[in-house]
Amino acid sequence: MSKYDIIVLGSGPGGYVTAIRASQLGFKTAVVEKESLGGVCLNWGCIPTKALLKSAQVFEYLKHAEDYGLNVKDASHDFDAVVKRSRGVADGMSNGVKFLMKKNKIDVIEGFGKLKPGKKVDVDGKEYSADHIIVATGARSRELPSLPQDGKKVIGYRQAMTLEEQPKKMIVVGSGAIGVEFAYFYNSMGTEVTIVEYMPKIVPVEDDEVSKQLERSFKKSGVKIMTSAEVTSVDTSADGVKATVKTKKGEEVLEADILLSAVGIKSNIENIGLEDVGIAVDRDKILVNDYYQTNIPGYYAIGDVTPGQALAHVASAEGILCVEKIAGQHVEKLDYGNIPGCTYCSPEIASVGLTEAQAKEQGLDVKIGKFPFSASGKASASGAKDGFVKVIFDAKYGEWLGCHMIGAGVTDMIAEAVLGRKLETTGHEVLKAVHPHPTMSEAVMEAVADAYDEVIHL
């Protein structure tokens, strides 16, 4: 039986990052992976979807070349080539993880791993043992009883990335990050897209003003949106799919070639031995403490299988914290109130901290500032005037409570707010930090200035 200091079950952005940090700390480390190194994020999620979205963005530039004084005639796209490029990017990233495993002397054990009592892992009949076993098996597309996925007409995100031909009509059920990103991609490629959202607004976790702006932008680009709506049944017996949608006005039947179910994720915790070991689970999540230890000594869990936010960067941070704690380092528990969320449709969305509604629900006295990109010189020059930056500060102490952005490139801008909040920056300190001109990031400074009645360009 092979013996390790640490075995990591799963090689997604939680698992492979955890393994590398463990190796850096001097632990003899192995990773168990049943499919491709890099997990869903690198192979079927974060990375290949961004490649698709980039193709859509470039195609949109070509279609609007005249807006920039350029002449491009008969711009068209090759759907197969777009998909092929995305898969190539994913393969390159997975090979990059393979290189990192070798570089850091981490053993990769291929196969399906199952936990055993006594700090052991069974991989397709062969046993391995370790002093510490970390579960990082991630999640998959969640299926609703009313939306069974057949992989052909009713699909999840995996199939949405590798369709053999572009659908003429598509229904997207759910308007979280996955739903709106695919809605943007397919609409940009020329597919007629309808979003069906159960909640009263799209991107329901975002600030109300952000949701309203995205709805305006999407409708302007031709995406149909149905909110406070529920798909109660689907019929795939004939050509395409018919979805019965319940709304406040009654029932409506939508017809399309494909229905994409983007209604959330399901943790991959079945058949991995949790019951055999006695690891506590509640509502589809493995229960852990602040350092990701389960109720059974020597077993840990990070990422989408735990109750924290199901985001790649959260899984990576949890894994690093977990192994540093195992190594005896002094670590601070993760601040889940300061985790940025990013959505890569167009316009992009990025946010951190409290929304305006949440701040007011807590009874906080707040200062709100908002700066539209329509007043930004860089945004105007770039032809990207949709959106705004919105900031929320505590009126008494100047604490930066929240930051919400929608617009071009905002997923790269949100880090300023995350770092500022981490360092307990006040509104006046942000205001007096000189921002470069002309940049999109100036909008952060201007939004703060608006909160304190000092805005210059609005």
Q: What DSSP string describes 263-323?
A: S-EEE--TTSSHHHHT--EETTEE---TT-B-SSTTEEE-GGGSSS---HHHHHHHHHHHH
68 — pLDDT class (breaks 50, 70, 90)? very high
pLDDT of residue 102: 95
Amino acid letter at 200?
P
Segment (H or E) for 436 = none
**R_g of the chain computed on alpha carbons:** 23
Cα 87 → chain centroid: 19
Give the start-end residues of each E strand in 142-196: 154-155, 169-173, 192-196
pLDDT at 158 over 80: yes
* Final residue in a domain of this structure, among 246, 263, 280: 263
- Res 141: pLDDT: 87
pLDDT tens track for 16-29: 999 999 999 999 99
Distance CA 188, CA 220 (A): 12
Considering the chain, what is the average pLDDT of its residues?
95
Cα 108 to the center of its chain, rounded Å? 26
- pLDDT higher than threshold 90 for residue 42: no
Same domain, 54 and 93: yes
Active site residues: 437
Is residue 175 situated within a structural domain?
yes
Domain shared by 283 and 136, yes or no: yes
> How far apart, in Å, are the Cα atoms of 214 and each of 2, 245, 367?
53, 22, 24
Query: Which residues, in sequence order, are CB contacts of 176 under 8 Å at separation 6+?
Result: 203, 204, 205, 262, 264
CA distance 133 to 116: 10
Same domain for 300 and 403, yes or no, is no
Tell me what pLDDT residue 38 has.
87
Number of domains making up the chain? 3
Does the pLDDT at position 153 exceed 80?
Answer: yes
359 and 417 together in one domain: yes
User: Residue 1: which pLDDT band, with cuts at 50, 70 and 90?
Assistant: low
Say if residue 74's pLDDT is above 90: no
Together in a domain, 232 and 377: no
Kindly state the average pLDDT of the residues 253-280. 95
Choosing from 238, 263, 288, the residue where a domain stops is 263
Is 238 part of a structural domain of the chain?
Answer: yes
Clarify whether residues 229 and 328 are in a common domain.
Answer: no
177 shares its domain with 281: no
Q: What are phi and psi of 222, to 5 degrees?
A: 105, 0
Termini Cα distance of the chain: 69
Q: Please tell me whether residues 230 and 276 are part of one structural domain.
A: no
pLDDT recorded at residue 46: 85
Report d(CA 18, CA 15) in Å as an integer: 5
> Which of these three, 231, 263, 295, is where a domain ends?
263
Task: Give the model's pLDDT for residue 189.
Answer: 95
- Can you say how many angstroms the Cα of residue 26 is from the centroid of all Cα atoms in its chain? 31
Residue 324 and residue 297 share a domain? yes
Q: How far is CA 148 from CA 154, 170, 232, 251, 308, in A?
A: 7, 16, 11, 20, 27
Residue 145 lies in a domain: no
Domain-embedded: residue 149 = no
Report the candidate in 436, 399, 440, 435 with the shortest Cα–Cα distance to residue 420: 399
- Say yes or no: 201 and 318 in one domain: no
Q: How high is the pLDDT of residue 69?
A: 93
Asked if the structure places residue 164 within a domain, the reply is yes
Neighbours of 41 (CB within 10 A): 25
Per-residue pLDDT of 284-313, as tens digits, reads 999 999 999 999 999 999 999 999 899 999
The H-or-E segment that residue 253 falls in is: strand 250-256
CA distance 161 to 52: 8
- Which sign, positive or negative, has the C-alpha torsion 374, 376, 378, 380? positive
Mean pLDDT of 401-428: 96
CA distance 32 to 451: 50
Identity at 277, one-letter amino acid code: V
**Mean pLDDT, residues 430-452 taken together:** 95
pLDDT score of 10 more than 90: yes
User: Is residue 146 included in any domain, yes or no?
Assistant: no
For the entire predicted model, the pTM comes to: 0.94
Mean pLDDT value of segment 246-271: 94
- Residue 155 pLDDT > 90, yes or no? yes
Domain membership of residue 148 (yes or no) is no
Task: For residues 119 and 14, state if they share a domain.
Answer: yes
CATH number of the domain residue 355 falls in: 3.30.390.30
Question: Which tokens sit at 203?
Answer: 């991107």
Please report the pLDDT score of residue 36 as a whole number: 86
The whole-angstrom separation of Cα 371 and Cα 439 is: 13
CB-CB contact of 183 with 218 (8 Å):
yes
d(CA 394, CA 427): 9
pLDDT value for 458: 81
Owner of token pair 């608006």: 450
- pLDDT tens digits along 231-249: 999 999 989 999 999 999 9
Lookup: tokens for 77 = 């796209």
Residues 311-349 pLDDT 10s: 999 999 999 999 999 999 999 999 999 999 999 999 999
Domain residues for 77? 2-140+266-336
The domain that holds 131 is classified in CATH as 3.50.50.60
The answer to whether 87 and 162 are in contact (CB under 8 A) is yes
- 256 and 278, same domain (yes or no): no
Mean pLDDT computed over 31-54: 89
Looking at the domain assignment, is residue 162 inside a domain? yes
Q: Which two tokens stand for residue 209?
A: 């003003």
